[in-house]
Amino acid sequence: MGLGGGFVLTLASPQANGTETETLDMRRMPPPPGADLDTRDKLVMEHVGLVKAMAGRLANRLPSQVEVSELISVGVLGLIDAAGRFNPALGVPFSAFARRRIHGAMLDSLRDLDWAPRALRKMRRDVDATMARLRSTLGREPESADIAAALNVPEAEYDRMLDQLRGADLATMRQASADGDGPGALEVAVDPGEGPHHTLERRELREHLARAIVHLPERERHILALYYEEELTLAEIGEVIGVGESRVSQLRTQALARLRSLLSEALQRKGTH
């Protein structure tokens, strides 16, 4: 069917036992008020490949029980929502606007699945709390040896814990624009209809995140920049900084744990004022 009036979108996803297909009838998905249906459908058709690429990349970081087809399905819904809400007047490329909504839809779906074992979630809380306690007592960012000692485990065991925590980490962190030109990463996904209260909260969160990133050890800050901004793979980052892919993964997980801890502290301080 032509783009005008909506269309039927068929998705094919490779699975271990063959190819799985799913049909989304966009005629049943009216755009938000004021959105143009023809423009929405055209944007969706042009960017379905982006959804598949993002789903494949995210699936590589997750346990095998998470199906790529599920990520693609919810990602397409995020793409449709982005296409209906996109406002070219904001000066943001559609691919950048859509990328964050697609990724957000996938992460929301994963959180709803709640596949992370309870023991793994407890491990993450223990690591985060240990980092916060050491930061307070040492007056600096704790090193891996400090954290392992506080957890009463050998460093090799702490490294294995980081490997396990990688699968539980669904957060996506973006650094703020370094040059100040153009919108920052958090603003890219702002709903044009969002009220001033939500916009203020988002701006405050962006400021907290920027301050937290500054406190990271240089090596971990570099890894996050290469991974999330330059979109290098773990293997490529390992070649840049001179360590193996497994070590890059561990350091990235540790960096995200630091950011969770720092952001939690910052938000708690704000709540007491």
Looking at per-residue pLDDT, the higher value among 191 and 256 belongs to: 256
**The one-letter amino acid at 128:** D
Q: Where in the chain is the domain with CATH 1.10.1740.10?
A: 8-113
Residues with Cβ within 8 Å of residue 81, at least 6 apart in sequence: 101, 105
Question: Which of these, 150, 177, 175, lies nearest to 161 by C-alpha position?
Answer: 150
Which CATH number does 8-113 carry? 1.10.1740.10
Give the pLDDT band (50/70/90) at residue 195. low
In the chain, the DSSP E strands lie at 8-15, 18-25
β partners of residue 13: 20
What is the rounded CA–CA span in Å between residue 248 and residue 18?
A: 33
Amino acid at 13: S
Residue for token pair 């490779």: 14
DSSP state of 2: -
Q: Class of 118-272 per CATH?
A: mainly alpha
Calculate the average pLDDT of the chain: 76
Q: Measure the CA–CA gap between 75 and 52, rounded to whole angstroms.
A: 8
- Nearest in space to 216 (alpha carbons), one of 180, 241, 253: 253
Chain centre to alpha carbon of residue 115 = 17
Residues 210, 186 contacting (CB under 8 angstroms)? no
Q: Is the pLDDT of residue 171 over 60?
A: no
Give 92-134 pLDDT, tens digit per residue.
Answer: 889 888 998 898 888 888 776 655 677 888 898 899 999 999 9
pLDDT in tens, 9-52: 545 454 545 445 555 544 444 554 455 677 888 888 999 999 99
Name residue 266's amino acid.
Answer: A
Tell me the two tokens of residue 161.
């814990």
Location of structure tokens 């040492």:
138
Q: What is the pLDDT of residue 27?
A: 47
Residue 258 has pLDDT above 80, yes or no: yes
Give me the pLDDT at residue 199, please.
55
- The three-state secondary structure class of 225 is helix
Please say whether the dihedral angle defined by the alpha carbons of residues 133, 130, 265 and 182, taken in this order, is positive or negative: positive
Question: Range(s) for CATH 1.10.10.10 in the chain?
Answer: 118-272
> Percent of the chain having pLDDT more than 90?
29
Predicted confidence at residue 196, as pLDDT, reads: 54
Q: If we measure between CA atoms, which residue out of 127, 160, 124, 123 comes closest to residue 146?
A: 127
Confidence of residue 140 (pLDDT cuts 50, 70, 90): very high
pTM over 0.85: no
Alpha carbon separation from 224 to 74, 77, 174, 178, 233 (Å, rounded): 26, 28, 8, 14, 11
Cβ(216)–Cβ(209) under 8 Å?
no
